[in-house]
Structure 1
Amino acid sequence: MRTIAPAIALGNALVHKADIQTGITGGSIIAKAFEEAGLPKGVFNSILTDVEEVGDEFLTNPHSDFISFTGSTPVGRYIAGIAGQQLKRVALELGGNSPFVVLSDADVDQAVDAAVFGKFVHNGQICMSINRIIVQKDCYDEFVSKFVDRVKALQVGDPKDPETVIGPVINEKQADKINNLITQAKQEGLKVALEGERRGNVIPPHIFVDVPNDSTLAQTELFGPVAQIVPAETDEEAIQLASETEYGLSSAIFTRDVKKGEQFAQKIEAGMTHINDQTVNDQANVMFGGTKASGIGRFGNPWIVEELTISKWVSVQSEYRTFPF
């Protein structure tokens, strides 16, 4: 909706292709809402089909002037390549590896609360989800102990139970991917502080500690209920580690020194930084977007206006001009 609503408000007609796995919530319900609101036919068009059937039509059709895509970085690179051949504008919201940094002067209890939410809301299946928790050594042991205790208390199981926090991931393929990453991390010798047995597509929370920032686990967008805690010797190293990833979407830092947090925000290679908060934040009235492999373009008002319109210079000569010839 961060593209659909402003596109319509700015006078554009559009075609919306929802992921087939979320065709009802991401497609049909939206189409029905616009229909009931009285939107003229042909302004908003929703299609529910497999991506193979659509192919490159959106990218190559001469009637499409702009492509907005939310999805994986490999697909985003493909879209940018094809669209570039057509000199077609794109806005790409892609993958992330959001760091959550806890400096030595942080309020550890508040940091733990924020980290639990930012990591496990929607089972960690959000592009902004906390992917790496980077903790300075002076408060590392305290943070790990309290974080593990909090995560142990999260209810796992039936998503129909309102008390459940960790339910099934989106499908078996994703559950297999997460399970394989867990197995690989163990084989590589990473230390496990919390684990559990998979039941169908329900994967209980896993916590890895003392994780090297250059490990496969740390450099992979997990998209699941797997937390990893990376130690840092100093505040400066913690800030440096935060940017050591190909991605640059969201980030967060906990510190009692707000000025230090603001300096961190200027240094980190990320489109969004939240001081004394977690990484999953999205508001229509502020900028949303990433850098590096996390995409290009900006959403949110007024930035989205620049994406969805063409700026023009229109002049009116009110007095007769004289010319040199």
Structure 2
Amino acid sequence: MTVNGESWPNQARWTGKIYSAGWRESEGGTSQVTEPATGHALAEVGVASPVDVARAGARAAQAAGDWAAQAPSDRVEVLLRTSAALRAHSDTIRDWIVRESAGVPAKGDYEINAGLAQLTHAVGLASLPRGEVLAAQAAGGVSLTWRVPIGVVGVINPWNAPFLFALRVLAPALALGNAVLLKPDPLTPVSGGVLVARLFEDAGLPEGVLHVLPGGARTGQAVAADPHVAMVSFTGSSEAGREVARVASQGLKRISLELGGKNSIIVLDDADIEAAALAGAVSTFGYQGQACVAAGRHVVHADLVEAYTDALVRHAQTMRMGDPRAEGVTIGPVISERQAARIEHIVDESVADGARVLTGGRRDGLFYPPTVLDHVDRAMPAYTKEIFGPVAPVLPFHGETEAIEIANDTEYGLTAAVHSGSVPRATAVAERLHTGMVHINDVSAKDAANAPFGGMGTSGNGSRIGGTASLEQFTQWRWMTAPGQM
């Protein structure tokens, strides 16, 4: 698309640069962005050094006060203009998401539509009641409490849904009057950072309120440690989340961690097998299984396990693997060689220990096919580890207590799904699961802008983003009193 005579997002404008009080050269050099499906170079972005982060933190702290002082309606106008820009450039953004993150176009559409929902919901956040009148301690006195912006929010973003996850934090944080330092993952710095900056830039967000600082672990550590950053929001692996928490805790910052999961789909003996298997296939094979909410265990009643597994294999074998831009392709490559090797190692080690591959199980470069395993026991990596790939371990059970015990047999506690012909029965099982989210007769992978998203155990630190939980995350209480008489 061409805007004011320039093609959007005007790559020449940001090539080799970071976004920090405008597009500028970085102290950390540059990095090449590569398309996983082809190996072709897509772009060159700047890499933010600790010096860049320190400069951005100071500038954001200066800008945060003015931004918070603006009327909520003024902040809302920026969000509305950002939504309009997103709609206008959705085709271009979808193409970047597909090429950079290797998801099919439907995955790009999902990120765009869910991002729009985040912006829309954030508009409502800006006008919520912000405080309370308390009972005063003396006659005629005044006692008030209200929420104020937390200040500067540091966001460390993952590669698997880079555009959506950036907006999931930015929309509410900005709506509530905060400034943001956004560090996109080095694998997806354009769709997870550059495009977001361009949208808010076009929408007229005041200079200095948003900084986009691509880079790796060194950059992320600098964001987490920066003294101007009052809160760190991290989405990624539990291992990396622990390190972010360690660094951020030195400054006594608020920390929001959305981490991994070993999520189960439980199929009770009265479930619709075809519907459950379809939900299981979508939950495990969608975007090559590279989602914290993907199904990592298929826990199926012994009376149904053969029919369910046959249906799951059938769904896996109908999926066409290839370049996600190609017509009819439903599964693309995984994001990197490191990720492909990790999936391969987990499957091969589990097979060596006695698991059986019913379909898939052999990769071609970055392309790992939808894979179904049975004969899985609790000592195998396919059972214990978060695979983050298109691999479905199937485990039979004989009673509901055993199914619940299998689903809860993990340090994680993010999400789950329960399938049954009886919603009350499924709900009773769901209530016994140690997860932050659970879905009845549906996929495990769901989110909504108005819902508190997050997990238990090592899936997070109990924080939530979404709905009114965002108000709690991105503001803090202030109390003020005045005496009735002096």
Q: TM-score range by the shorter chain?
A: over 0.9
Q: How does 1:245-264 map to 2 (within 5 A)?
A: 245-264=410-429
Note if contact 2:375-2:395 (Cα within 8 Å) is conserved in structure 1: yes
Matched residue, 1:44? 210
1:196-217 deviation per Cα after TM superposition (whole angstroms, max 9, x unaligned)? 5422211112110131234221
Distance 2:368 2:294 in 1: 17
Task: Kindly state the Cα deviation for residue 144 of structure 1 after the two structures are TM-superposed.
Answer: 1.0
Higher relative helix content: 2
Count residues with an aligned counterpart.
Answer: 319
Note if contact 2:272-2:421 (Cα within 8 Å) is conserved in structure 1: yes
Task: Kindly state the Cα deviation for residue 157 of structure 1 after the two structures are TM-superposed.
Answer: 1.9
Matched residue, 1:119? 284
Q: How does 1:303-318 map to 2 (within 5 A)?
A: 303-317=469-483
Task: Kindly state the Cα deviation for residue 58 of structure 1 after the two structures are TM-superposed.
Answer: 2.0
Distance 1:257 1:292 in 2: 29
1:260-302 deviation per Cα after TM superposition (whole angstroms, max 9, x unaligned)? 2222222111110001101110110111001101012101010
Task: Kindly state the Cα deviation for residue 114 of structure 1 after the two structures are TM-superposed.
Answer: 0.7
3-state secondary structure, aligned to 1:3: helix
Check 1:2–1:55 CA distance in 2 against 1; reply closer, same or farther (3 A cut). Answer: closer
- Letter in structure 2 aligned against 1:48: P
Instruction: Say which is worse superposed, 10-19 or 148-157, in terms of deviation.
Output: 148-157
- Asked if 1:17 corresponds to 2:178, the answer is no
1:291 alignment partner, one of 423, 437, 456? 456
Matched residue, 1:171? 336
- Asked if 1:233 corresponds to 2:395, the answer is no
Q: How does 1:123-202 map to 2 (within 5 A)?
A: 123-195=288-360, 197-202=362-367
Matched residue, 2:197? 31
Note if contact 2:400-2:429 (Cα within 8 Å) is conserved in structure 1: no
Distance 2:212 2:286 in 1: 28
Q: How does 1:76-115 map to 2 (within 5 A)?
A: 76-115=241-280
Task: Kindly state the Cα deviation for residue 189 of structure 1 after the two structures are TM-superposed.
Answer: 1.1
Aligned-pair identity (%): 37
Matched residue, 2:12? none
Task: Kindly state the Cα deviation for residue 162 of structure 1 after the two structures are TM-superposed.
Answer: 3.2
- Letter in structure 1 aligned against 2:331: I
- Asked if 1:302 corresponds to 2:454, the answer is no
1:242 alignment partner, one of 407, 417, 428? 407
- Letter in structure 1 aligned against 2:217: V
Distance 1:190 1:68 in 2: 38
Structure 1 runs of 4+ aligned residues shifted over 3 Å read none
Instruction: Say which is worse superposed, 253-262 or 129-138, in terms of deviation.
Output: 253-262
Distance 1:55 1:277 in 2: 35
- Letter in structure 2 aligned against 1:202: F
Note if contact 1:210-1:231 (Cα within 8 Å) is conserved in structure 2: no
Note if contact 2:270-2:420 (Cα within 8 Å) is conserved in structure 1: yes
Note if contact 2:354-2:376 (Cα within 8 Å) is conserved in structure 1: no
Matched residue, 2:83? none
Task: Kindly state the Cα deviation for residue 219 of structure 1 after the two structures are TM-superposed.
Answer: 1.1
Check 1:299–1:55 CA distance in 2 against 1; reply closer, same or farther (3 A cut). Answer: closer
Note if contact 1:155-1:163 (Cα within 8 Å) is conserved in structure 2: yes
Matched residue, 1:273? 438
Distance 2:273 2:392 in 1: 17
3-state secondary structure, aligned to 1:113: helix
* TM-score normalized by the length of structure 1: 0.94
3-state secondary structure, aligned to 1:131: strand
Distance 1:185 1:281 in 2: 28
Distance 2:232 2:275 in 1: 40
Note if contact 1:168-1:201 (Cα within 8 Å) is conserved in structure 2: yes
Distance 2:190 2:243 in 1: 26
5+ residue gaps, structure 2: 1-166
Distance 1:97 1:299 in 2: 20
Task: Kindly state the Cα deviation for residue 315 of structure 1 after the two structures are TM-superposed.
Answer: 3.3
1:50-75 deviation per Cα after TM superposition (whole angstroms, max 9, x unaligned)? 332x2632232221100000111011
Distance 1:300 1:196 in 2: 37
* TM-score normalized by the length of structure 2: 0.64
Task: Kindly state the Cα deviation for residue 312 of structure 1 after the two structures are TM-superposed.
Answer: 2.4
Q: Which has the higher contact order (CA 8 A, sep 6+)?
A: 1
Note if contact 1:157-1:167 (Cα within 8 Å) is conserved in structure 2: yes
3-state secondary structure, aligned to 2:182: strand
Check 1:214–1:34 CA distance in 2 against 1; reply closer, same or farther (3 A cut). Answer: same
Task: Kindly state the Cα deviation for residue 49 of structure 1 after the two structures are TM-superposed.
Answer: 2.2
Matched residue, 2:111? none
Distance 1:15 1:242 in 2: 37
Instruction: Say which is worse superposed, 143-152 or 245-254, in terms of deviation.
Output: 143-152
